[in-house]
Amino acid sequence: MTPWGGACLILACDGSQATNRTISDSLQVKSDTLENFLDRFGQLNALHGESLVKTCKFSGIARSLFYEIRDQKRTVSDKVWKKLEAAERRAGIVTKSDSNAESSTSPKKIDVSEVTHSSSVKSLRRRSKDRMIPVIGWAHAGEAESYEELPQSWQNEISSECPDPKAFAVSLEGDSMEPRFYDGDILIVQPTTEVHSGCFVVARFASDGVIFRRLEMRGNKIILVPLNSQYESSTHTADEFSWIYPVWARITKMWKR
């Protein structure tokens, strides 16, 4: 045993209870801070018709940052508190501690019972069921003959409320679905959900290759319909596909060169 090895063990044993208390207290503070943030953000959200997009724009707090804070991936920084408090002042929201000479970076507690539309606070918390899902390249999606063969080495993730437990996203390539869908759009698909006539799908041909189309079913025929008039519809049977997944949502980029 080295001379310092035993000492380290003694310190670890003697300090374990104190360390556990410190960790527990720290977690409680973080939890209280998050609850305070969600309560106040929820009140602001109620004033904006429960539109998270409008609330984030009004407060200057990016939606992606809000999701990360809500999902406890980031803490509420002093900068975020300042933005929230500035937004509250512009909206005419008065907190109980506004009469106190507190630092602007000190999180001020509000009485949740005074929130006019408490449903907004609840809806924000319900959205904590969001989770991060992988974003897979178009070419990689085309290489997978089944869900289990999808690449596990994805580099990008997005937050989604999609209820499908196996949901993933693909980055669209091509112009065959313009003018509604564009190259670079992110399509969130549902592997465990049944397709139906009229829905948009991402399909992988058994012979290789992946395609995005509106699906129409006529008897035992599957018709894939492009939205771009420069492309033609195609007719298939089910055995021509490895999989066909319905699209749950689309995320589009606003800036196009």
Residue at 257 is within a domain: no
Q: What is the pLDDT of residue 31?
A: 59
Whether 106 and 141 share a structural domain: no
CATH value at residue 136: 2.10.109.10
- pTM of structure: 0.51
Residue at 169 is within a domain: yes
In contact, 155 and 134? CB cutoff 8 Å: no
Query: What confidence tens digit (pLDDT) does each residue in 34-46 have?
Result: 888 888 888 887 7
Residue at 180 is within a domain: yes
Q: What is the pLDDT of residue 255?
A: 55
**What's at 209, amino acid-wise?**
G
Mean pLDDT for the stretch of residues 74-99: 80
Report H helices in the chain.
3-47, 52-59, 63-70, 78-91, 118-126, 138-143
The dihedrals phi and psi of 209, each to the nearest 5 degrees, come to 105, 145
Query: What confidence tens digit (pLDDT) does each residue in 93-111 have?
Result: 765 555 444 444 444 444 4
**Which of 63-72, 194-203, 206-215 bottoms out in mean pLDDT, i.e. has the lowest?**
63-72
- Show the tokens assigned to 102: 């507190």
Q: What is the pLDDT of residue 39?
A: 83
Whether 143 and 246 share a structural domain: yes
Q: What is the pLDDT of residue 95?
A: 58
Whether 121 and 163 share a structural domain: no
Q: What is the pLDDT of residue 106?
A: 46
Taking 70 as the threshold, does the pLDDT of residue 209 lie above it?
A: yes
Whether 105 and 176 share a structural domain: no
Q: What is the pLDDT of residue 3?
A: 32
Q: Output 235 or 11, whichever has higher pLDDT.
A: 235
Whether 24 and 139 share a structural domain: no
Taking 90 as the threshold, does the pLDDT of residue 65 lie above it?
A: no
Cα-based torsion angle of the residue sequence 218, 223, 227, 229 in order, rounded to the nearest 10 degrees: -100
Which domain, by its residues, includes 72? 3-127
Whether 135 and 83 share a structural domain: no
Tell me the three state secondary structure of residue 218: strand
